Amino acid sequence: SANAAGCDGGGIASTGGTVMLEASAIHDNTAGCSGGAIFVRDGGATLVDSQLVANVASTGGGGGIMLFGSAISLIVRTTIAGNTAVLDGGGLLAHGGATRTTIFDSVVTNNRCEPLPATAVGGNGGGIANGRTNNQGGVSALVAGGIMTISGSTISNNVGASNSDLSSRAFGGGIANVVTTGSITAGTKLLTVP
């Protein structure tokens, strides 16, 4: 708790490795860029019976967790709550068509995208963003999400923020899905979990 990073991964940053959390809490951390609690690039993350609570991505996306590149994640019986991102994915952002995310029997609640006061750039997918939709400076406006499966989970009370750069109101308070190559499957599915 109460960790800070100048850029990605306020609590944990992992590049190409594997993160395994079980019965753990990561809370009140701040990333100067993305992944308020956890930032995973081109590796794996497994979260079981854990909590990502009240973390902040102060100029980027994924207030709770950002999955980047070819990151593969399994999130089981985990709560992602009260996190804030300036850009997309107040709770979770899967950034890139090669990401693979499975969320099972978990709760994603009370997360939000909050624009920077000076720029009013906000984000979509208050709870979950599968892909990125906003535009910040010279960054491309659309980045596809990967394959995401959500089963037996609750997504509630999340809020997206307006994005003046796209002259549109926020969309996907709970989930925003950029379907260039990405997809989300929600429903009942039998999974073997730890």
| pLDDT classification of 115: cutoffs 50, 70, 90 | confident
- Pick from 77, 18, 23: which is nearest to 38 by CA? 18
Mean pLDDT, the chain, integer = 85
> pLDDT at residue 163 above 60?
no
Nearest CA to 176 out of 189, 188, 164, 159 is that of 159
Asked if 122 and 161 count as a contact pair (C-beta separation under 8 A), the reply is: yes
| DSSP state at residue 159 | B
Give residue 162's pLDDT.
64
pLDDT confidence band for 106 (50 / 70 / 90): very high
pLDDT in tens, 47-68: 999 999 999 999 899 999 999 9
